[in-house]
Structure 1
Amino acid sequence: MSILTRILIRQRCSLGRLGFLRPISANQIKIYNSLTESVEPLCKNVINGSDMPVITWYSCGPTVYDDIHLGHASCYIRQDCIRRVIERFQEKPVVYALGVTDVDDKIIKRAMYLGKKEKEVATIYESQFFGALEQLNVRPPDVIIRVSDNIPKIINFIQSLIDKQHAYVSKSGNVFFDVQSYPGAGKFDPILKSKLGKENRKRFAERSPTKFHPEKKNRSDFALWKAKIDEEVSWPAPWGEGRPGWHIECSSFCDVITSGHPHLTIHSGGVDLKFPHHNNELCQSEAYYCTDNWVGHFIHIGSLVTSDTGEKMSKSLGNFISVEDYLTNHGTSDELRISCLRRDYKSSLAYSRDDLSHSRIFLKEVAEALAVCENSLKAPTVEYADSFYKIVEDCSRKFETALCSDFNFPSALDVLSDFCSQLRLQRNLRLSDAAVSRQFLLSSMDTLGIQLSSERSMAANEKALLAELNRFRSAVRDIALGKNLQNNGTKLSKVELKEIAARNSDFLDECDRVRSYVKSLSLRNYSDE
């Protein structure tokens, strides 16, 4: 069975479970294209001329050299929600690929610091990255593409740019892209777009977001291949041994996804990648394919910022919270996801405890609304109230409209919150209305990736408290069982121990009751052993 067949079956099976959320024409899904800065129908380029039978989607992934934090997680949570909506409401199969940078300056430095090989460091943090996303209910990509697995493809891509005179080899074996060679360069350059215009191409070429390299022809030229330095990881190439530059990796990855087709449906990543990364990637890919329409839609996700300073959460600033720390000390995956959905996906998201509190309130509303449905289904009423179905249908339509209007998740949550408020007030709910209301709520939660799980990790002080409670329970139980008691220096017989246990049965019952209660809390990362 091909990967496309498996993907399509997965999407259709998902749809089959959900009665209210129906697939609709791809033209009805509107999405903000950050390249054209306008809201456009999804797949307009596929529908108008491209012969790709699937929606191809590439997302920039992690540089795997350190722990994943909430700044990374929020980006992938929001993309996961967008992916779920696209797969739910259109009929073409979606091939979602994620690029992993496992060859990079940061990885080399980290490996030197840890005294490990670059590959070993990359493998450790890649595993940690996907493990954290799984905990946050972010679905895995259909395809994972790594730099180290695609070196021959990258070399061929670079060679093609050299042959087309869009790139040049320096004396030391570096390869740079020549921005002056391609008139379409700078589509994401903020200064060029807002002030300079095409007539100032030379001024653009003199700008550079990175450090100036003496072997560059123009300051804005960027590295496609970096010549080997000392004992760094490297591969042989026609122009000399070395390793790929950052931007070229993603362009070659996209070519793998489309199998050489000159059009990619969706390209996504954090807004901080817009310039220079996506700017340079777009430039070299359009030069490679000889087209000005390489990507149908660019999606840029807003950054997570701190609520007190408004600074982007990042390792360099030291203001980040790791995913592990969050799940242990702050909240659940559902609470974080809802916090991410409460803001427009394109805008910055301020992390705060208040937002998590609002998320808990929303989850409580949903739980209470589902309880109304469950109670009505378990004990059907004999006195029928007015039909609730029209309200369900109206809210379903509003929810669907919000999601298909550039993924308006805040409005979608408002629709669900209003629906829950109305449902919680119902008395004598008809059985059929209870069933469709429950189906609509569960379908909506699934579309947003909300698991409705009350399980959470424990904070450090809770762990300490429960550990002490467990120690105390064990100590009381040992005393009640007569353990460590002696009679003139000899251990008590089994008969004597049974008599002591019988006299202290009330204490033993209480110990068992405490143990059962703690286990019923289903707290993650806790053991009473």
Structure 2
Amino acid sequence: MASLTIQNSLAPGSAVPFVPLEDGKVSWYACGPTTYDLSHLGHARNYVSTDIIRRILMHHFGFSVNFVMNFTDVDDKIIIKARRNKLLELETRKPYSPEQRRELVFKAFQAYASSNLPLLQSADDAADLDENNYQARKEAAYGRVLAGGTITGEGKPSDAEAKVKMYLNALDSAAQALRTGTLFDSAEDILLPYLDSLYKETFDTRDQTPFTDLTQAMEKAFVDDMTALNVLPPDAVTRVTEYVPQIVKFVEQIVDKGFAYEANGSVYFDIAAFENAGNTYARLRPESKNDKALQEEGEGSLSKTLEGKKRSGDFALWKKSKAGEPFWPSPWGAGRPGWHIECSVMASDKLGEQMDIHSGGIDLAFPHHDNELAQSEAYFHECGKGEHTWVKYFLHMGHLSIAGSKMSKSLKNFQTIQDALATTYTARNMRIVFLMGKWNDGVEISPDMRKQADNWETTLDNFFTNIKAKLSEAEAPTSAVKDLSLADKSVDGLTEELEQAKKDLNAALSNSFDTPTAMQVILRLVRDANIYMNKSADANLQTVEAVARWVTKIAGIFGLDPGAQPPYEGLGWGSGEIRAAVVDPKTAIKPYAAVFAKVNEDVQALNLAHTPVQAVLAQQQPQVEFSELEKSGEQDIEKLALPYLRATSRLRDELRGIISTAALDPMTKQAVLSLSDRIRDYDLTDLGVQLDDQTDRPSLIKFVPAAKLIAAREEKSALLAEKAKQKEEARRAREKAEEEKWAKAKVSPLDMFKGDAKYLEWDAEGLPTKLADGSEVPKSQAKKLKKEQDRQKKVHEEYLVKFGTSA
């Protein structure tokens, strides 16, 4: 087996050998969500990709993984959103008159525009911005951005343009609210920051309920999303608010070691002191070390008040709480943890002074992860022992982007996971999309990528369906079929291809979890197996089954079947839903038994005496075969249903057989045809069973999701209805053309030009001689009129022959 290498952000470049601190065991800390809003597809990309790597480590490479994840439940974004939500709730309760409400929204509208879109109020405009002149000013100031360009007119659109569009969308809604009077219903985006500016300093934070209500609700939503995406739960979960005392002690030790200092109630990390002690700062992103925009983003609201900092790059370990912010006691006064310190404390508490893997989205590399590394290595620093290694391998998941901008809550350009699963994706399909890209590469989901993912899933789905159907056919109580399909044979080409696929897949996964290559290995093998299985009726199904079971195992390792459990020794994947652990056989087969009973009854009603059908009716006893399965403890619903499905299918096969061989009267023949179609297209389709007719062999029974079969049936019905409609429209068009043709032919050539206002006189043959102005008809025109009359004579004669009458 190839040795595992891994792309380590701490060692940019080629993948490096993965050697955990303890043989066979992996300690892993993953940055979890900030619980202030619903999770979106960008989060799905991060956590699903993380889950895939975790599963590969555990179930392919055999590591024991201790996976810890945090929930950030106190943070600037959480504080602001929770406080604003509460303030808006309080505001809606106030007994405002309609005029007072409008004035409040109007002031919020102007404040929002002034703060975020200053170009709307240019120096040339004497009038204040309002809902009436807003549209014209928007087009004048930001028309270039709205048309897909950039603010400056140069380069490609990025996050800056995405923000402009977000701000304009908020003002669009607010302007509409001001014009229509809907006010509070449509202007929430602009009202929230305005109310916050008015009342945040009077907000009583001794009651932390508004904050905990928000974070607990969002944490539950996140957990539900991850469950829906089949992401394994962490082995341990940590929350910032449960670690505040430990955070205070952690910060104290960093201060005591001389790597941090207190200023105006806040504590800042001293980067210069850290580096002077022989340590390296910004090891992940050295090029971003002096990026002020990223530094300010990392500091949040504190970045606006820098008093007391020795250097602008120094970052907060502990923040002095301002009015309107929750607080906890500390040696430096009432405050709250800095953003980065939380992970250092919680990860170190759970995993010790060293860990194998730390992961998160690529946007966290600087400043969050670089600051985590610095403060943690400062905490564990010992003089004379060199730099401390807190993390061996840093894994950063690539962004998911939309039109060049990362998907982000702050940009409001995201689709929530809940919405995506309800409208656009299944959990399996989304995971396949992510598997088709490298975990550390950026991904922009394109129609082509979606098509590739759909094709991959469909290919495997059909492969599993077909091999299970053929195995069921071979294992049916028909020895001739069984002997033919499962005969012992020598090692063939497909066996060799399977062994090569195993080697190729292992090589791909050993190369820093190269899932795109692994997915191609699987697809290639499945296509080869399909060719082998379909090339002859006596293909060795045991070889194909071996392929299917190996593919099933890898699909299970990748998390593509939520109902599967390691070591993934089944055959095929489930529908995507987790089934009950214990199945009651009699309850499970009721729908199948009911269909058989109904079909049996309807066949008997046809009174097909003296045909093979009558003998089959007497022989069928599916309940006996089912009872044997029940006694054996069988839990697979498909296997339990097969006795009834085989019996139903056999009756249909016999019905099809007698249509061309038995001497049936027309009415009986039509009834047999109708029943045969109904069994296939309705009775079994509604159960999620597809019958494939085979020449000289029983129909092949396939289990396919009922929704898929019903959709195909409805699509077929719609196509037939459309064809019938087109055929009818064509018939009517032909009839109309025919009517118009004979209506024209009915006119006598003597009369065809008479009554036309363009002419004044006609000769004895009915040809015009003078125009309406009294002038003679020109010779050239007269020749044309004569040719038209000759053509009319011919069609008029045809009319007389056909109808025998004239006009």
TM above 0.5: yes
Q: Which residue of 2 aligns with 1:424?
A: 530
Any residues of structure 2 matched to 1:435-450 within 5 Å, and which? 435-450=545-560
Matched residues, percent identical? 32
Equivalent residue for 2:5, pick from 14, 17, 30: 30
Does the residue aligned with 2:268 lie in a helix, a strand or coil? Answer: strand
Please state whether the residue corresponding to 2:241 is helix, strand or coil.
coil
Any idea what SS the aligned residue of 1:57 has?
Answer: strand
Structure 2: how far apart are the matches of 1:304 and 1:349?
5
Q: What is the deviation of 1:401? A: 1.4
Q: Which runs of 5+ in 2 are unaligned?
A: 87-208, 297-302, 382-386, 475-481, 562-572, 578-677, 689-704, 709-807
Which secondary structure does the structure 1 equivalent of 2:325 belong to?
A: coil
Structure 2 CA distance for partners of 1:523 and 1:421, relative to 1, 3 Å: closer
Deviation sequence 1:375-395 (CA, Å, 0-9, x none): 342214526576332221111
Find the residue that maps to 2:15 and give its secondary structure.
strand
In the TM superposition, 1:295-314 aligns within 5 A as 295-306=391-402, 309-314=403-408
The 1:206–1:315 alpha-carbon spacing in structure 2 relative to 1, beyond 3 Å, is closer
Structure 2 length normalisation: TM-score? 0.50
The answer to whether residue 390 in structure 2 is matched with residue 323 in structure 1 is no
SS in 2 for 1:377: helix
- Identify if the C-alpha distance between structure 1 residues 406 and 382 changes in structure 2 by more than 3 Å, giving closer, same or farther: same
Partner-residue secondary structure (3-state), 2:283: coil
Distance between the aligned counterparts of 2:682 and 2:266, measured in 1? 67
AA of the residue aligned to 1:28? S
2:35 to 60, 64, 73: 64
- State yes or no: 1:181 paired with 2:273: yes
For residues 207 and 450 of structure 1, the distance between their equivalents in structure 2, rounded to whole angstroms, comes to 40
Mark the CA change 1:208 to 1:435 in structure 2 (over 3 Å): closer, same or farther: closer
Q: Displacement of 1:373 after TM fit?
A: 2.6
8 Å CA contact retained: 1:30, 1:39 = yes
2:501 aligned with 1:395, yes or no?
yes
Local SS of the residue matching 1:185: coil
Deviation at 1:164, TM superposition (A): 0.4
The 3 A distance-change label for structure 1 pair 318 and 208 is closer
* 1:369 Cα offset (Å): 2.0
1:191 alignment partner, one of 277, 284, 287: 287
Q: CA deviation at 1:190?
A: 3.7
Secondary structure at the counterpart of residue 406 of structure 1? coil
2:517 & 2:458 partners in 1: Cα distance? Answer: 18
- In 1, distance between residues paired with 2:371 and 2:252? 17
Q: How does 1:189-268 map to 2 (within 5 A)?
A: 189-191=285-287, 209-210=295-296, 211=303, 213-258=306-351, 261-268=352-359
Deviation at 1:218, TM superposition (A): 0.8
C-alpha distance in structure 2 between counterparts of 1:327 and 1:72, whole Å: 14
Q: Distance in 2 between matches of 1:129 and 1:296?
A: 28
Once the two structures are superposed, residues 361-415 of structure 1 have per-residue CA deviations (whole angstroms, 9 ceiling, x without a partner) of 1111112222343234221452657633222111111111111110000000000
The residue number in structure 2 matching 1:8 is none
The aligned amino acid for 1:346 is: N
Task: Evaluate the alpha carbon distance shift between residue 33 and residue 234 of structure 1 in structure 2; reply closer, same or farther with a 3 A threshold.
Answer: same
DSSP 3-state at the match of 2:393: strand
Call closer, same or farther: CA 1:91–1:454 in 2, change over 3 Å. closer
2:463 pairs with one of 369, 391, 413: 369
Higher RCO by CA contacts (8 Å cutoff, separation 6 or greater): 1
Deviations 1:180-232 (Å, cap 9, x if unpaired)? 11112121234278xxxxxxxxxx59997213612211111001111122242
Q: 1:343 to 1:92 in 2, by over 3 A?
A: closer
- What residue identity is the alignment partner of 1:316? S
In the TM superposition, residue 519 of structure 1 has moved relative to its aligned partner by: 8.2
The DSSP-based 3-state class of the residue aligned with 2:328 is coil
Structure 2 Cα separation of the partners of residues 267 and 150 of structure 1: 19
Please tell me whether residue 41 in structure 1 is matched to residue 17 in structure 2.
yes
Computed over aligned residues only, the root mean square deviation of the Cα atoms, in angstroms, reads 2.6
Rounded Cα–Cα distance in structure 1 between residues aligned with 2:531 and 2:447? 29
The whole-number CA distance in structure 1 between the counterparts of 2:222 and 2:292 is: 38
Alignment of 1:454-473 (within 5 A): 454=575
1:61, distance to aligned residue in structure 2 (A): 0.6
1:278 CA displacement: 0.6
In structure 2, C-alpha distance between the alignment counterparts of 1:329 and 1:206, rounded to whole Å: 40
The AA in structure 1 aligned to 2:238 is I
Corresponding position of 2:261: 168
1:274 aligns with 365
Question: Which string of whole-angstrom CA distances, capped at 9 and with x for unpartnered residues, describes residues 9-37 of structure 1?
Answer: xxxxxxxxxxxxxxx6xx81110111111
Distance across 1 between alignment mates of 2:291 and 2:42: 32
Given the superposition, is the C-alpha separation of residues 455 and 41 from structure 1 closer, same or farther in structure 2, using an over 3 Å criterion?
A: closer
* Change beyond 3 A, Cα 1:294–1:109: same
Q: Secondary structure at the match of 1:209?
A: helix
**Alignment check: 8 A CA contact 2:7 2:512 kept:** yes
Contact 1:248 1:281 in 2 (8 A): yes
Alignment of 1:99-118 (within 5 A): 99-115=70-86, 117-118=210-211
Question: Partner residue of 1:80?
Answer: 51
Distance, in Å, in 2 between the alignment partners of 1:207 and 1:514 is: 62
Is this contact kept in 2: 1:55–1:93, CA < 8 A? yes
CA distance in 2, matches of 1:83, 1:324: 23
1:154-191 CA distances to partner (integer Å, 9 max, x unpaired)? 111111101101111112x1111110111121212342
In 1: Cα distance, 2:40 partner to 2:684 partner: 35
Q: Secondary structure at the match of 1:362?
A: helix
1:157 aligns with 2:259: no
Alignment partner of 1:382: what SS? helix
Letter in 1 for 2:356: T
**1:261-305 deviation per Cα after TM superposition (whole angstroms, max 9, x unaligned):** 321100000000001111111111111111432111000110001
CA contact (8 A) 2:353 2:390 kept: yes
Match in the other structure for 1:404:
510
Q: Which residue is equivalent to 1:414? A: 520
Distance, in Å, in 2 between the alignment partners of 1:92 and 1:341 is: 21
- Alpha-carbon distance in 1 for matches of 2:216, 2:682: 42
| Structure 1 or 2: more helix by fraction | 2
Distance 1:371 1:517 in 2: 15
**How many Å separate the matches in 2 of 1:418 and 1:208?**
44
2:374 corresponds to which residue? 283
- Rounded Cα–Cα distance in structure 1 between residues aligned with 2:416 and 2:496: 44
Could you tell me which residue of structure 2 aligns to residue 5 of structure 1?
none
* 1:27-59 C-alpha deviation (Å, 9 max, x unpaired): 811101111114112125546xxxxx8311001
Deviation at 1:76, TM superposition (A): 0.6
Deviates more, 1:112-121 or 1:77-86: 112-121
- Which SS does the other structure have where 1:300 is aligned? strand
Equivalent residue letter for 1:294: W
Matching of residues 444-523 of structure 1 within 5 Å: 444-451=554-561, 452-454=573-575
Matched to 2:295, the amino acid is: P
Q: For residues 394 and 514 of structure 1, what CA distance do their matches in structure 2 show?
A: 43
Aligned equivalent of 1:465: none
Unmatched runs of 5 consecutive residues or more in structure 1: 1-23, 48-52, 194-203, 457-509, 525-529
Aligned equivalents of 2:683 and 2:548: distance in 1? Answer: 34
After TM superposition, give the deviation of residue 429 of structure 1 in Å: 3.3
